[in-house]
Amino acid sequence: MKPEELRFSPTHEWVHVSSDEEGRAVATMGLSAHAVEALTDLVFIELPQVGRRVQPGESISEIESVKAVSDIYAPVSGEIESVNDALADAVETISQDPYGAGWIARIRMDDDAGLEKLMDYTRYQQQCQEEEC
């Protein structure tokens, strides 16, 4: 996926919305390249629990680097439909391909009401620049 086509949360999660076979909105989410660079060398991820109901801004899992442990937050509301199990044995995939093979979870969205609170790529880049000041 191209970052320019994604939406971003203030806590550096990205979202790509598509529809499943039944026409329901599903948000694929992961960590932005900016977040991955800030964390540096990733060593472990606790994947979210499938079936868990989540709200925007709620911590759904943790990722650990050589520097720190950081929460991963739900960018939208809904139910965690699936997780990228391959990351449990290859967390470095997030660093290598954050917008593709490094996706973390898919959330079956309750509705699209929270999407307007997410930033487009241009606004997200501005936020990242402001944080570096």
Per-residue pLDDT at 132 = 72
- Give pLDDT tens digits for 1-22: 888 999 999 999 999 999 888 8
Q: Whole-angstrom Cα distance, residue 12 to residue 10?
A: 6
- Give pLDDT tens digits for 62-114: 999 998 899 999 999 999 999 999 999 999 999 999 999 999 999 999 887 77
Per-residue pLDDT at 123 = 94
pLDDT classification of 115: cutoffs 50, 70, 90: confident
Q: Judge whether 8 and 124 are in contact, CB under 8 Å.
A: yes
Identity at 108, one-letter amino acid code: R
- Give pLDDT tens digits for 24-50: 889 999 999 999 998 889 999 999 999
* Order of all β-strands in the sheet with 59-65: 42-46, 59-65, 69-73
Sorted by where each begins, the domain ranges of the chain are 3-114
Task: Reply yes or no on domain 3-114 having CATH 3.40.50.261.
Answer: no
